[in-house]
């Protein structure tokens, strides 16, 4: 990291059942970033304790932050307060991972930061997010998995975003072989029409957020409005794969009717963490 830029991972947190998976992945990729900042966007006591315990257990690389005027009851409409307060350092590049990112591909963090730094023009860099309607459309188009219905090229598509059985099918296809080269069969995808893409895993420069505050509807601001104003279309980095567990439209079904999926991701994370600890 000789370019002088700090590499900061940030996560609006936190749901304990997912964070306990994500932390294991980040622990195995510690050499690729400086700090993981948990933006504590919850009023659930157990989840707050989870965030604080993680920070206490790993004080050298995990921190917690509480935003001024924070109101966790607003859910995602509260996140902009954290971003505007803690994610605007002009000497830093940020990688945001939602707390239900349950898998990071080999070298994911390093790949995302390197791609971001090599491609300064796009306002955002998205990762290749498994279970993201727009990106699922790309994978279906490439023949990487099949389902009885096709996802449309729309952020909140009736199939790719809303249908929990579609999400189940995609997860099961991915879990068959997470490192199959087909999942990285596209290098880049440019959102040249400023189309909205779900922001489950994204990277930006702190200097860009320092200029204009993030709006309350952060996804529309990040995905469509701000890049269009700047004429800097966002790009998807196809070589950096991660898995987003579920949208709220899918979560109840996946957790109640297909609990083995989350268990499978937890097992992968635990295996990777064990192997990493044994090699150090």
Kindly list the domain boundaries of the chain, sorted by start residue.
6-279
Three-class DSSP category at 74: helix
d(CA 204, CA 132): 19
Dihedrals phi, psi of 261, to nearest 5 degrees: -70, -50
pLDDT band at 274 (very low <50, low <70, confident <90, very high): confident
pLDDT band at 3 (very low <50, low <70, confident <90, very high): confident
pLDDT at 2: 57
Residue 280 pLDDT > 70, yes or no? no
The residues facing 36 across adjacent strands are 9, 62
Token digits for 204?
A: 């930006």
Three-class DSSP category at 93: strand
Instruction: Give the CATH class of 6-279.
Output: alpha beta
d(CA 53, CA 57): 6
d(CA 62, CA 60): 6
At 217-266, the pLDDT tens digits run: 999 999 999 999 999 999 999 999 999 999 999 999 999 999 999 999 99
Q: Are 213 and 80 in contact (CB under 8 A)?
A: yes
Residue 275 pLDDT > 90, yes or no? no
| Percentage of the residues of the chain whose pLDDT score is greater than 70 | 99
Q: Are 173 and 130 in contact (CB under 8 A)?
A: no
The average confidence (pLDDT) of the chain is 96
Residue of higher predicted confidence among 275 and 215: 215
Taking alpha carbons only, the member of 276, 237, 269 closest to residue 110 is 237
d(CA 184, CA 178): 10
Has this prediction a pTM greater than 0.85?
A: yes
Taking alpha carbons only, the member of 100, 10, 30 closest to residue 276 is 30
Strands (E), 90-244: 92-97, 101-104, 125-130, 188-190, 201-205, 235-244
Residue 1 pLDDT > 90, yes or no? no
């Amino acid at each position: 990291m000789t370019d002088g830029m700090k590499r900061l991972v940030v996560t609006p947190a936190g749901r304990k059942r997912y964070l306990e998976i994500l932390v294991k992945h980040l622990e195995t990729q510690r050499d690729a970033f400086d700090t993981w900042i948990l933006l504590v966007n919850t009023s659930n006591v157990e989840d707050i304790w989870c965030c604080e315990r993680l920070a206490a257990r790993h004080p050298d690389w995990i921190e917690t932050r509480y935003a001024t005027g924070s109101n966790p009851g607003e859910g995602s409409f509260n996140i902009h307060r954290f971003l505007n307060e803690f994610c605007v350092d002009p000497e830093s590049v940020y990688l945001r991972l939602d707390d239900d990112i349950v898998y990071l591909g080999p070298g994911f963090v390093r790949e995302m930061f390197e791609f971001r730094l090599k491609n300064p023009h796009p306002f955002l860099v998205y990762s290749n997010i498994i279970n993201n309607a727009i990106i699922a459309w790309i994978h279906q188009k490439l023949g990487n998995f099949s389902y009885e219905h096709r996802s449309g090229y729309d952020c909140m598509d009736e199939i790719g975003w809303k249908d929990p059985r579609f999400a189940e099918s995609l997860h099961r296809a991915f879990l068959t072989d997470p490192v199959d080269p087909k999942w990285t069969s596209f290098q880049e995808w440019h959102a040249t029409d400023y189309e909205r893409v779900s922001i489950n895993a994204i990277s930006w420069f702190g200097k860009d957020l320092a200029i204009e505050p993030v709006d309350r509807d952060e996804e529309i601001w990040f995905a469509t409005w701000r890049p269009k104003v700047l004429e800097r279309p966002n790009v998807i980095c196809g070589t950096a794969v991660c898995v987003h567990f579920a949208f709220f439209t899918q979560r109840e079904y996946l957790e109640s009717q297909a609990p083995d999926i989350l268990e499978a991701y937890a097992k992968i994370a635990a295996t990777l963490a064990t192997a990493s600890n044994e090699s150090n």
